[in-house]
Amino acid sequence: MKLKLDENLSRHAADLIRTAGHDVATSDSQGLRGAVDEILFDVCKQESRALVTLDRDFSEVLRYPPAGSAGVVVLAMGHRPSHAALLARVRDRCPAGRTRSEDCGLRSGRGRKIPWDQLRAELRQRR
Write the pLDDT tens digit of every residue in 3-21: 999 998 878 888 888 887 8
User: pTM higher than 0.85 for the full model?
Assistant: no
> Mean pLDDT for the chain?
75
Domain span at residue 20? Answer: 2-126
Window from 5-14, 17-26, 41-50, 94-103 with minimum mean pLDDT:
94-103
Q: Give the number of domains in the chain.
A: 1
Could you tell me the end-to-end alpha-carbon distance of the chain, in angstroms, rounded to an integer?
32
> Cα–Cα distances in Å, from 8 out to 33, 42, 115, 116?
9, 18, 25, 24
